[in-house]
Every structure is written in C-alpha cells, then in structure tokens.
Amino acid sequence: MSRWEPNARGRLEQAALELYRERGFDQATVAEIAERAGLTERTFFRYFADKREVLFWGQGALTELYVGAIAAAPDSAAPVDAVAAALEAAAPVFQERRELGRQRQSVIAANPGLQERELLKRASLASAMADALRKRGVTEPAASLAAEVGVIAFKTAYARWLSDPDQQDLSRLIRESLGELEVMTAGRD
Amino acid sequence: MSRWEPNARGRLEQAALELYRERGFDQATVAEIAERAGLTERTFFRYFADKREVLFWGQGALTELYVGAIAAAPDSAAPVDAVAAALEAAAPVFQERRELGRQRQSVIAANPGLQERELLKRASLASAMADALRKRGVTEPAASLAAEVGVIAFKTAYARWLSDPDQQDLSRLIRESLGELEVMTAGRD
C-alpha cells in the first residue's frame, strides 16, 4: 500500500512528456519517468497501463463528452450542428492543457507507431459520434459523413490553435474550419 | 531462375484473399497461398514483400494517379474540384476489381491490425493529395481540408458501391457524397 501522492497523474504525465522529448518515446523507460516524477513505478502503473497510455488516457472521457453532447443537442439541430456543439463543448478541456498538448503533438509527430495509434483513436472517435447521431435518428451516410467532417474540422482547428501563440479561442477556430468546409464544398453538382 | 508464369500476381492475390477469408489473415501462410495458386513461395516474394502487401500493393500506383490528376486539373479548378477529378479518374480501377475489393474489405474488417494499416494508408493518400494541391498554389488549411474531404467522400461512396449489388457507377456515388457534404455543411456560421 503506498500513500496518497498529490497530483500523481499530472506529475507522471509531465515527466513522461519531458523524457519522451529528450530521449525519444522508444528509449524512455517507466523507471525513469517514475524517478523524475518522484514516484514509484507501481504508482505509474496505477494510472497508466503502459508508456503509450500517457499520451492517450483522455480518449475515453473525451468520447463520453462528445457522445453526451450529441445526445443533448436540441431535436431540431442538424447532424453537423450536433457534432459542432460536441466539439465546442470539449474545447475548454484542450484550452486548459495547451502546453501539454503541444508537447504531446511533438512526441507523436516524431514516432510513426504513435501516429498510427492516433489515427486509430481518431477513427474510433468518429465512429462513436456517428453512433450517437444514429441514435438521434440520423440515417447513413449522413451520420458517418457528419462525424468525419467534425473530426477533420477539429483536427485542422486544433493544429492551427497549437501552432499560433496569439490564438486563444479554439471554439472559434472550430467554427472557422467548418465554415471553410462549407465554402469549399459549395457549388458542386 | 523460374520460368514466366501467366498472371502470377492475380493468381496469388486471388489465392491469398480466399485463404485469408477461410482461415483468417493471421493463420494463412505464404506457403499455402503459393500452393493454392500453383506457384512457388519464391514467386510470391517476387510480387509481394509480405502477406499484408497483397492487400495494399495498389497504394503506390493509386497515389501517383491521384497526384497526377490533381496536377493536370485546369488552373481554374477549385481545390475540391481538382480532388474530385482525381477520385473520378481512379474510379475505373476500382470498377474493374469490384469482387476482389469486396473480398479485401471483408478480410480487413475482420482484423484490427489491417484496419490500422488501412487508416495509415488513407492518411498518407490525403497527405499526398494535400501536397499536390499546395504545388498548385493552394494554401493551408484549404489544401488539407480539400484532401480530407476527398478521402471521406471516396470512403463513403466506395462502401456504398461495394455493398449495393445494383450499383454500377462509382463516380456518380463520389459526386453524390460530395453533394451530401455540401448540403451538410451549408448554412453554418
């Protein structure tokens, strides 16, 4: 039984991100992460199943947040508006963690295996949102298309937001990306 | 030196898809595939680096086709129209291989590792199309958004086309998916 450690998850996450960037994801060990955080390996494994999980642990909560927001959208909301509401509902979570987000992206960008994992997580997020839309009575292919549109709008907005130091408002960038998608697809047959 | 075998690639591909479906991708061996095709393992490895490559060997040619068609689109073409032209240019390749395409999808759907690989291939296709658009002077984020829109329109159209026995025209379904994306994103702020 180990004693309670204040903010153990946050300290482990920060230590892991530092080490992944200094030494590369594959080289950094759980022992080093725990040591840098001033905690034990045992404590690490209480929070994370493995090294990779440090980068992706938020996925479950994020999926629930999206699915909940889609379910809670007004009956009159069009599919893509329900998705937009979900993305905006989650924006504060990212706003609060901008510096961690930036470090996380640089670790993922340096490692093909992590990129692959991120694609998979993104696909499963799109699929959960499409499910939530179908529960609202949206038919296919509209449900899948709206979910995929949401995912690419978010991805684009998030990358812009991370890379622009003056940019404060992720929600506004999400709306802008959706607006660009509208202009882009307008006027086709 | 082995002698020339007529349509060795096609025979190996057909034998592999049959075995992947009968026994599961992980269980089927190259020796079995070669035997069923009436060829040697050595011939297998002349065409495919490994078992997985049987499912993804067309990726390189497809990327070249897309990139070439985007480069060849009229100067006046909007980004998403250049992408649409590329997707339609490649449609006959899929039309000719519908039954193989259907078998291939069922193998991939049964195996998470193959799904992951397919996501990666799709992401690299989107990234090659975005590159081709930037070479036409399209700026970001328009280039990436147009490429991603193309990929999801194609994915949706292709799934519909494979699952509907009466559906003959993949190009028409691609245009329909792009049209649905237009309707879907229209009228947002």
ipTM of the complex: 0.76
Q: Which of A123, A184, A189 sits opposite B146 (nearest CB)?
A: A184
Q: How much is the pLDDT for A2?
A: 53
Residue A81 lies in a domain: yes
What range does the domain containing A177 cover? 58-185
Q: Give domain status of residue A1, yes or no.
A: no
Which chain B residue is nearest to residue A182, measuring alpha carbons? B185
> A81: which chain B residues are within 8 Å (Cβ-Cβ)?
188
Given CA atoms B154, B160, B163, B166 in this order, what sign does their dihedral have? negative
Please tell me the total number of residues recorded for chain A in this structure.
Answer: 189
Alpha carbon distance B77, B60 (integer Å): 25
Q: Is residue B93 domain-shared with residue B18, that is, in the same domain? A: no
Contact criterion met (CB below 8 Å) for A129 and A86: yes
Yes or no, beta carbons of B142 and A184 under 8 Å apart: yes
pLDDT at B189 over 60: no
Do the beta carbons of residue B127 and residue B147 sit within 8 Å?
yes
Q: Are residues B40 and B101 in the same domain?
A: no
CATH number of the domain residue B101 falls in: 1.10.357.10
Any domain includes B17: yes
Q: Tell me whether residues B184 and A146 touch, CB distance under 8 A.
A: yes
- Contact criterion met (CB < 8 Å) for B185 and A120: no
Q: Are B82 and B142 in contact (CB under 8 A)?
A: no
Residue A178 in contact with partner chain B when CB distance is under 8 A: yes
8 Å CB contact of B156 and A141: yes
On the question of pLDDT at B186 being above 80, the answer is: no
Residue A89's alpha-carbon distances to A85, A133, A182, in angstroms, are 6, 16, 21
Residue corresponding to tokens 């990234």: B127
* Predicted local distance difference test score (pLDDT) of residue B183: 82
- Mean pLDDT over B160-177 rounds to 88
* Cα–Cα distance measured from residue A40 to residue A34, given in angstroms and rounded to the nearest whole number: 5
For residue A79, the chain B residues in CB contact (below 8 A) are 184
Percentage helix, strand, coil for chain B under 3-state DSSP, each rounded to 5: 75, 0, 25
* CATH number assigned to the domain comprising residue B24: 1.10.10.60
Residues B87 and B180 in one domain: yes
Task: Give residue A136's pLDDT.
Answer: 95
pLDDT in tens, B26-83: 999 999 999 999 999 999 999 999 999 999 988 989 999 999 999 999 999 999 999 9
pLDDT value of position A5: 73
A133 touches chain B (CB under 8 A): no
Distance CA A138, CA A166 (A): 38
Backbone angles phi, psi at A57, to 5 degrees: -65, -25
Mean pLDDT to the nearest integer, B123-136: 95
Q: How far is A40 from chain B (nearest CA, A)?
A: 33
Q: B187 to chain A: nearest residue by CA?
A: A182
Q: Are residues A175 and A154 in the same domain?
A: yes
What integer best gives the mean pLDDT of chain B?
91
Among B18, B34, B51, the domain-final residue is: B51
A3 inside domain: no
In this predicted structure, the answer to whether residue B165 has a pLDDT above a threshold of 80 is no
CA distance A182 to chain B (A): 5
In the predicted model, residues of chain A with pLDDT beneath 50 are 1, 189
Instruction: Please give the pLDDT value at position A53.
Output: 93
Count of the separate structural domains present in chain B: 2
Inter-chain residue contact B188 with A142, CB threshold 8 Å: no
